[in-house]
C-alpha cells in the first residue's frame, strides 16, 4: 500500500532556481495538502485542494504555486527559490471532513 508518495526526497537548489515537488495518493481521497515544517514552527499549511479542480491558499502561500493535476496528484512549485524556503515539505491527503489525514514521508529542500 503506497498511500501518499512524494518526490524527490532530497533536493538542493541555488537561489533563483525553480523546481516542482510531486505528490500522488492512491486512496481516492478528495482533499490534498502541502505543508512545510520548520523547527519551532510546527506544520504550516501552504496550499490545499479540497477537491479535483480546486486549490486554495493556506497560511504561508507566498512564493509557491500548486496544481491539482487530477484526483491523484497535487504538485507544489517554487518558481524562484529563496533561502527562506529551506524546509521539510509534506504532502498529505484525506477523504471526507473529519477523517484521518495521511502524510507522505517528506521532502528535504535546501536553498543555498
Partner 1 sequence: AQSVAQPEDQVNVAEGNPLTVKCTYSVSGNPYLFWYVQYPNRGLQFLLKYITGDNLVKGSYGFEAEFNKSQTSFHLKKPSALVSDSALYFCAVGNMRFGAGTRLTVKP
List contacts with partner 1 (CB under 8 A).
4, 33, 35, 40-45, 48, 59, 90, 92, 94, 97-98, 100-106
In whole angstroms, how close is the CB of 78 to partner 1 at the nearest point? 20
Whole-number Å distance between alpha carbons of 51 and 108: 26
In whole angstroms, how close is the CB of 87 to partner 1 at the nearest point? 14
Q: How many other CB atoms are there within 10 angstroms of residue 86's CB atom?
A: 16
The nearer residue to partner 1, 1 or 14, going by C-beta atoms, is: 1
Phi/psi for 21 (5° steps) reads -95, 130
The nearer residue to partner 1, 40 or 53, going by C-beta atoms, is: 40
In whole angstroms, how close is the CB of 104 to partner 1 at the nearest point? 6
Q: What nine digits make up the cell of 9?
A: 526526497
97 alpha carbon, distance to own chain's centre: 19
Amino acid at each position: 500500500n503506497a498511500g501518499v508518495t512524494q518526490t524527490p526526497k532530497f533536493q538542493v537548489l541555488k537561489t533563483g532556481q525553480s523546481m516542482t515537488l510531486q505528490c500522488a495518493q492512491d486512496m481516492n481521497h478528495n482533499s490534498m495538502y502541502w505543508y512545510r515544517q520548520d523547527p519551532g514552527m510546527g506544520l504550516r499549511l501552504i496550499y490545499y485542494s479540497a477537491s479535483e479542480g480546486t486549490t486554495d491558499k493556506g497560511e504561508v502561500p507566498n512564493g509557491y504555486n500548486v496544481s491539482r493535476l487530477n484526483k491523484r496528484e497535487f504538485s507544489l512549485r517554487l518558481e524562484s527559490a529563496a533561502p527562506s524556503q529551506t524546509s521539510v515539505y509534506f504532502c498529505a491527503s484525506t477523504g471526507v471532513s473529519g477523517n484521518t489525514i495521511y502524510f507522505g514521508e517528506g521532502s528535504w529542500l535546501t536553498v543555498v
